[in-house]
Amino acid sequence: MKTLSLKLDEILFQQTENILSKLNKPRNRYINEALAYYNKVQNRKLIEKKLAFESNLVGDESMKVLGEFEAFESNED
Where along the chain do its domains lie?
28-76
What pTM was computed for the model?
A: 0.67
Place 77 in a pLDDT band, splitting at 50, 70 and 90.
low
Contact 47, 55 (CB under 8 A): no
pLDDT of residue 22: 96
pLDDT tens digits along 17-73 = 999 999 999 999 999 999 999 999 999 999 999 999 988 888 878 888 888 888 877
- Asked whether the predicted pLDDT for residue 4 surpasses 70, the reply is yes
Confidence category of residue 13, pLDDT binned at 50, 70, 90 = very high
Query: Residues 24-27: contacts with CB within 8 Å, 24+ apart?
Result: none
